[in-house]
Chain A
């Protein structure tokens, strides 16, 4: 720590930190553009100028850029110095030379950093009187709108896209005042993090194209804290609504999880909420042949009551994409012994196993932030870019940690981005990727290893053994894998905070064991190694923590125990199980009750269908891959007869007279019951204040204080302003009234911040005001709490279920699952943009196997696997290991197959009569 003087006042600050970071952290307003809290300084825009004085006698001083000046003992600067103030205003004037003066028609208006900074510097009068330069805009694909005339050449976009996100198809072109930021030619931006340009760009050059289709000003959006439902990482989001429609998703900062960024699947995957396929009314069928008829909710409930009453036994099938509360409500309704996991049998087993592993080493679980700051990483099995994209972003940053030693030795501060990168050049910290095939992270890898799931597990076991000889050793490892395992072991041992990233996507339990062994081995030699497991879905962990039975057990009970009714919660079982098994299951159950938000094949099987709310219309808790329970809140009240699933289930309980009167009628009560029954879930109760929480007696409004049109929004229906909906379940209100946050003086707990905003800071940069320190934790602690908590039990034994070496089979290939960021996930695919980017169905085969099977480029293949036959176009790919084949799973046209599985692959016979799937 050193003492510096800002306008005569002493401050204790971190030595070497740059002055802009310091000023903003101290709450001093200083305008800036090219600096970004997650990307450091480059000194380009000259907006952050302050006056620096040699000593207390120096009255002249000189202008320096705050973002490029490190704090040293006794440093004296002035932010208010008239010359600095005048210069900062002139920078804005310059930036405005060519910037269009048409904020009212700009999508960024109202949340624009350039607007905020213009007001902050006080520049109002324009001296420049010439034509503005103009550019041609590009079509950058379905997500991002491009309006280059608004560019102020701060270089943030290109620094983010290339330097941080690793994209290649975007750059800065030309020079002087025609510098252009875009692609070489029009086309879809390739990076899965491209959406962050929208938040990184301080002006309206890059804006959200999906938002543009149903545009609303930021101040007219009703928002609530939320959590992404599109993968297991649980990135924090801020969705916004107007007129009953979900309009967009923005990042919500969480120091431990996603920091400043989101992936494009998460950012743009929201449009299913507005889909035509939404189930909006309760529906009934008289019998299985009859058509559905929409009915009033009460009629639906009445019917359910009849069914369940007369039923000897009702089973419940939960969901890895429904909230913990809804799953728990179902579990309570049907009884724990009749509650089954709605995940695939394999996922159920794998996640249950993952929970055991995490419970063995709770203190070693890595957060996403810890992955980002680890200095060596081994990835076992996961194609993170497609399965858990933000983990790929984190790993991309992690390789920069170790080489920081080089720049630090040269006394280059970590925030001095250009210099640090120059000193480091292309040196990278260790990152080993063991996956089935190529991934989009390969360019960062020290080494890649493409092999079958077994061999990936065996490599992991070998690494563990190399680290600690007491860890079991795989037999007959080939020499290349052995060498690689030694190299990996050495790098992990040399690291200060190594991380092992693994997960369930290859559906191979032994990979999890191998990953656990590596972490155990490292810990046994005193390394604080961490484990990061990606899981199948947004609440896979939450579901399995409730200890449901497996789907196969549900099927068996249905077959054998004359179950009368099944309640299926937010789940399309056709994505989870073999269709033949499902047909038999549905046949064996007289009454099927389905709660879901989108129509799907399972909903089509329902006898009673209840319209369930999506995440945007619900309160709930999701448990992410590191067991972090995170609360999301209703962004808006669902229309029609849509209700949160736990509300429906509670109503069913009521109808059955099952409920004890009182407690569980509220969300708080439901959670209290849950914690009472499953005490290890206690953190769920602590992640956000209960519904009765008030600040100064007031609720926290979901609508900004500038929300417009409230009195006229419904004027076509009635000129009387309707009473805003009440929210009995949370401390948030559906109105503008309530507590107006004035950070950092007074603000809601971080879990209840509906939108980051501070006086004078309308853009997302207002975040500075909510953090303890720039890019540090949120004031009062980041939202979310881990459920699996230390202390660690005694050191667990090593796993020794090492698989046999992979042996190819004559005439068969091992079909392994591949994933697509757009397409493999159930909900986001309903966004037109993501649907457009979904890859085609195909089977990927190694060229040598193709040759052996006499397959050539254009062939359509007949694939027999898991007693199903599909036709899939052949795709020859050198990165698929011999003896295996890759199949992108989860694509909407593909029925479920349990993979990995051996399959027979032949060219489609001419005049074949096999139906195409789907």
Chain B
């Protein structure tokens, strides 16, 4: 019995060879749907599977596709391979080791919305991965899996890769589109949504690499099979990126709804030096901190349950913090990350992250005054809910929850002012 649905290369060596991929059932699903199913049937199947976007927001994939107006053409599909969230490294493994399953998923999505041209947008640092994908795309063309009149039908599809310049914000779907169109990666206001005015002003689906990689098994085995994995509202497998103060960091494919405890202590081998766990960041640097109580450790990792204990699941980049980690230090790290990655479009994020970086520098260096912690909290309040895009919102998560939940860490660093 094979263990993996997404990280199948771990079961099957050399899966990144097209022949081996095809020998193991690869492209059967794509061929099946192009020759046998209508786009609408594909969309219904994906809706029925309950697949939710793995890029962060967890939005139902089939529903997203159905937003594309059918009186505006052409349609585009863009695979989001920007993977820039600190602590996230799942898409990379898929792209490096199991590229064809991803590309087949992209082809399936393209067929479902009748896109004839689709793109893979990769972060600039993924240069070698883009070269690898280009070779895969060439091999697919040579094998008749891409091109005109596929499998003797009237459906045609071409795929292209595009490298960004390496900006975190370009993972945000509208900034990604700007970048793909050749401009600076600044987010666009929604509405209009990309489903209506997307790439080159046309209806566009943007899906995460992992989301797309789920499609071939769904179309091959059916929605009912897919729903046997995971939970009712969050079905299917998920690659969890485990990092931080654990013994065995890495990617772990598990059904959604697996508990934190299982991930950290079974798969991850527990905390380094068996120290006490202090907090969890389930969505990379964009997470709010979740204090690692026993109840939290037993929380199933699905979109609803994790959100209830304090942070969205996001891309499931689970960063583990033990008692050696000072939260003022952590806040300082994330503040610097976001002040560097702010695109510079809107004032609260551009200036606010910069200010947070300065304030947390001072706190972490032990040079702050007591009121600086309060000021830091005030700054986060003025950023919260007021930025142009979610990056600004993400930027305060760790800082704000850090102050609210681990105030002592901050106060310990701030000079007491005698009153």
Which residues of B from 308 to 367 have beta carbons under 8 Å from A? 339-348, 350-355, 358
Q: What is the distance, in angstroms, from A829's C-beta to the closest C-beta of chain B?
A: 39
Q: What is the distance, in angstroms, from B18's C-beta to the closest C-beta of chain A?
A: 36
Produce 1/0 per residue, A37-50, CB < 8 A to B.
00000111111010
What residues on A are CB-neighbors of B353 within 8 Å?
A: 176-177
Query: How far is B341's CA from A419's CA once the two chains are assembled, in angstroms?
Result: 23
Q: What is the distance, in angstroms, from B299's C-beta to the closest C-beta of chain A?
A: 29
Additional pairs, 4, CB under 8 Å, beyond known A46-B348, A175-B343: A46-B347, A46-B388, A418-B188, A422-B197
Which residues of B from 188 to 208 have beta carbons under 8 Å from A? 188-189, 191-192, 196-197, 200-201
A547 within 8 Å of B (CB atoms):
no
Which residues of B from 166 to 215 have beta carbons under 8 Å from A? 167, 169, 184, 188-189, 191-192, 196-197, 200-201
A174 within 8 Å of B (CB atoms):
yes
Q: Which 4 A-B pairs have the closest CB atoms?
A: A94-B351, A179-B344, A90-B382, A176-B342
What residues on B are CB-neighbors of A63 within 8 Å?
A: 385-386
Whether A176 contacts B347 by the Cβ 8 Å rule is: no
Query: How far is B196's CA from A410's CA once the two chains are assembled, in angstroms?
Result: 8
What residues on B are CB-neighbors of A68 within 8 Å?
A: 189
B375 within 8 Å of A (CB atoms):
yes
What residues on B are CB-neighbors of A422 within 8 Å?
A: 188, 192, 197, 201
Residue in chain A with minimal CB distance to B343: A175
Produce 1/0 per residue, A84-104, CB < 8 A to B.
001100110011011000000
Q: What is the distance, in angstroms, from B76's C-beta to the closest C-beta of chain A?
A: 13
Whether B354 contacts A175 by the Cβ 8 Å rule is: no
Whether B197 contacts A410 by the Cβ 8 Å rule is: yes
A364 within 8 Å of B (CB atoms):
no
A416 within 8 Å of B (CB atoms):
yes
Q: What is the distance, in angstroms, from A155's C-beta to the closest C-beta of chain B?
A: 8
Whether B386 contacts A49 by the Cβ 8 Å rule is: yes
Residue in chain A with minimal CB distance to B341: A176
What residues on A are CB-neighbors of B388 within 8 Å?
A: 43-44, 46
Q: What is the distance, in angstroms, from B186's C-beta to the closest C-beta of chain A?
A: 8
Query: How far is B346's CA from A42's CA once the two chains are assembled, in angstroms?
Result: 10
Whether A177 contacts B345 by the Cβ 8 Å rule is: no
Known: A46-B347, A47-B347, A127-B375. Contact between A175 and B355, CB under 8 A?
A: no
Q: By the criterion of a CB under 8 Å from any partner CB, how many residues of chain B are at the interface?
A: 34
Which residues of A from 392 to 438 have beta carbons under 8 Å from B? 406, 410-412, 416, 418-419, 422-425
Residue in chain B with minimal CB distance to A98: B351
Query: How far is B346's CA from A45's CA once the two chains are assembled, in angstroms?
Result: 5
Query: How far is B388's CA from A68's CA once the two chains are assembled, in angstroms?
Result: 11
What residues on A are CB-neighbors of B375 within 8 Å?
A: 127
Query: How far is B352's CA from A91's CA once the two chains are assembled, in angstroms?
Result: 9
A789 within 8 Å of B (CB atoms):
no
Whether B200 contacts A425 by the Cβ 8 Å rule is: yes
What residues on B are CB-neighbors of A43 within 8 Å?
A: 189, 346, 388
Q: What is the distance, in angstroms, from B135's C-beta to the closest C-beta of chain A?
A: 32
What residues on A are CB-neighbors of B201 within 8 Å?
A: 406, 422-425
Contacts A/B (CB < 8 Å), 21 sampled = A44-B347, A46-B387, A47-B347, A62-B385, A90-B348, A91-B348, A128-B355, A152-B347, A153-B344, A153-B345, A172-B184, A177-B351, A177-B353, A179-B344, A410-B197, A418-B188, A419-B188, A422-B188, A422-B192, A422-B197, A423-B192
Residue in chain A with minimal CB distance to B177: A422
- Within 8 Å by CB of B192, from A172, A419, A425, lies A419
Q: Contact residues of A with B, CB < 8 Å?
A: 42-47, 49, 62-63, 68, 86-87, 90-91, 94-95, 97-98, 127-128, 130, 152-153, 155, 172, 174-179, 406, 410-412, 416, 418-419, 422-425
Produce 1/0 per residue, B283-316, CB < 8 A to A.
0000000000000000000000000000000000
What residues on B are CB-neighbors of A87 within 8 Å?
A: 382, 386
What residues on A are CB-neighbors of B184 within 8 Å?
A: 172, 175
Among A90, A128, A423, A424, which residue has the most Cβ atoms of chain B within 10 A?
A: A90
Residue in chain A with minimal CB distance to B190: A419
Residue in chain B with minimal CB distance to A43: B189
- Within 8 Å by CB of A94, from B167, B169, B191, B348, lies B348
Among B188, B339, B350, B386, which residue has the most Cβ atoms of chain A within 10 A?
A: B350
What residues on B are CB-neighbors of A178 within 8 Å?
A: 344
What residues on A are CB-neighbors of B189 within 8 Å?
A: 42-43, 68, 416, 418-419
What residues on B are CB-neighbors of A153 within 8 Å?
A: 344-345, 347, 350
Whether B192 contacts A176 by the Cβ 8 Å rule is: no
What residues on B are CB-neighbors of A127 within 8 Å?
A: 375
What residues on A are CB-neighbors of B386 within 8 Å?
A: 46, 49, 63, 87
Residue in chain A with minimal CB distance to B178: A422
What residues on B are CB-neighbors of A406 within 8 Å?
A: 201
What residues on A are CB-neighbors of B385 within 8 Å?
A: 62-63
Residue in chain B with minimal CB distance to A173: B184
Q: What is the distance, in angstroms, from B285's C-beta to the closest C-beta of chain A?
A: 15
Whether B188 contacts A176 by the Cβ 8 Å rule is: no
Known: A44-B346, A419-B188. Contact between A94 and B339, CB under 8 A?
A: no
What residues on B are CB-neighbors of A177 within 8 Å?
A: 339, 342, 344, 350-351, 353-354
Query: How far is B352's CA from A424's CA once the two chains are assembled, in angstroms?
Result: 34
Query: How far is B386's CA from A86's CA once the two chains are assembled, in angstroms?
Result: 12
Whether B340 contacts A176 by the Cβ 8 Å rule is: yes
Query: How far is B346's CA from A155's CA once the two chains are assembled, in angstroms?
Result: 10
What residues on A are CB-neighbors of B352 within 8 Å?
A: 94
What residues on B are CB-neighbors of A172 within 8 Å?
A: 184
Q: What is the distance, in angstroms, from B357's C-beta to the closest C-beta of chain A?
A: 10
Q: What is the distance, in angstroms, from B289's C-beta to the closest C-beta of chain A?
A: 24
Whether B167 contacts A175 by the Cβ 8 Å rule is: yes
Q: What is the distance, in angstroms, from B8's C-beta to the closest C-beta of chain A?
A: 38
Query: How far is B196's CA from A411's CA once the two chains are assembled, in angstroms?
Result: 11
Q: What is the distance, in angstroms, from B98's C-beta to the closest C-beta of chain A?
A: 33
Query: How far is B350's CA from A416's CA once the two chains are assembled, in angstroms?
Result: 22
Whether B354 contacts A410 by the Cβ 8 Å rule is: no
Query: How far is B375's CA from A62's CA once the two chains are assembled, in angstroms?
Result: 23
Whether A176 contacts B346 by the Cβ 8 Å rule is: no
